[in-house]
Amino acid sequence: MGLRITVLGLGAWGQTLLERWQAQGHRVAGWSRSSGGSPIELVGDCDLVVSAVAMAGVQPLAQTLAPHWPLGLPLLSCSKGLDLTSLATATQLWAAELPASPLLVLSGPNLATEVRRGLPAASVLACTDHDLARDLQRQLSDESLRLYTNGDPIGTEAAGALKNVMAVAAGIADGLALGANAKASLLCRGLAEIGVVLEGLGGVTSTLYGLAGLGDLLATANSTLSRNYRCGLLLAEGCSEEQARERIAATVEGPRTARAALQLASHRGWHLPICEQVVRVLDGGAKPADAVRALMERDLRPEWSQP
């Protein structure tokens, strides 16, 4: 017998998950802000709630649902980013409103268009409750979408958020036709920068090199199916952030995440040079070519900190 699942947020990823789980035989209901109605009635009679809303919608949705949330009902978060006001991840926002509910994270190299076509993909279910994660892994996997588990939800979220910033930077590099060597260098240093935030928030280093870290970065920074990568391409063409958003006509989380990461960095003493240059371009403080030049002209130093 299948699960009763409620999917909140029916953008590209939410709609893809809804259709895939329906095809598996689960009873799936969906809600989006644009469709109208209240999500409250949908959380009272289900086994799992899946949140696929944009980061800007997470906190108000959590506050709306918290007084009506059934005891023990798990929530699976698919939102990737950092909240610009609280500087929190999605599950940190949910946990503030649902402190007694089990929370999981779904993240990985999952370009929605490819998953919807049934092309092979893999993702991570991250949860501190290993039994719950393994149970949902078994019930939500199929022959083309394979789910793995880990016990590091905060690291998984940090990696999923920051890779969007690196995808914007990769789009800029490709838009400027800087070549494979430059892009490989950018992504390598970008992975290290993601690691600064991941470890700084308390994540596990090994998550950086898994599906939610390196895997997601490779997919998002190399495909025009990625909104963040396309945003970088448009910035390289000379578009402003607003013009890029209008042409993409969908939520792009990388810019908000870059700004939130820099705020965190100022509080924590982190050095995030790629985030810094991406924000300079977004804010009009530097042309894309000048931002790349600033990265290349940084002081020479060891690749890794010396013991």
* Virtual torsion, Cα 237, 243, 248, 254, nearest 10 deg: 80
DSSP assignment string, 192-206: HHHHHHHHHTT--HH
Cβ 25 vs Cβ 2: under 8 Å: yes
Give the SS3 label for residue 229: helix
Neighbouring CB atoms inside 10 A of 221's CB total 25
CA torsion through residues 248, 249, 252, 256, sign: positive
Report in angstroms the alpha-carbon separations of 138 from 72, 121, 147, 173.
Answer: 20, 16, 8, 40
163 is catalytic: yes
Cβ 86 vs Cβ 57: under 8 Å: no
Neighbouring CB atoms inside 10 A of 23's CB total 11
Reading the block at residue 157, the tokens are 């979220």
> Helix 273-282 to helix 153-175 angle, to the nearest 10 degrees?
60
Residues in Cβ contact with 297 at an 8 Å cutoff, skipping those fewer than 6 apart: none
Query: Given 80, 163, 183, 287, which residue is catalytic?
Result: 163
Query: What H or E segment, with its residue span, contains residue 75?
Result: strand 75-77
Q: What is the DSSP letter of 298?
A: S
Q: Which residues are catalytic?
A: 163
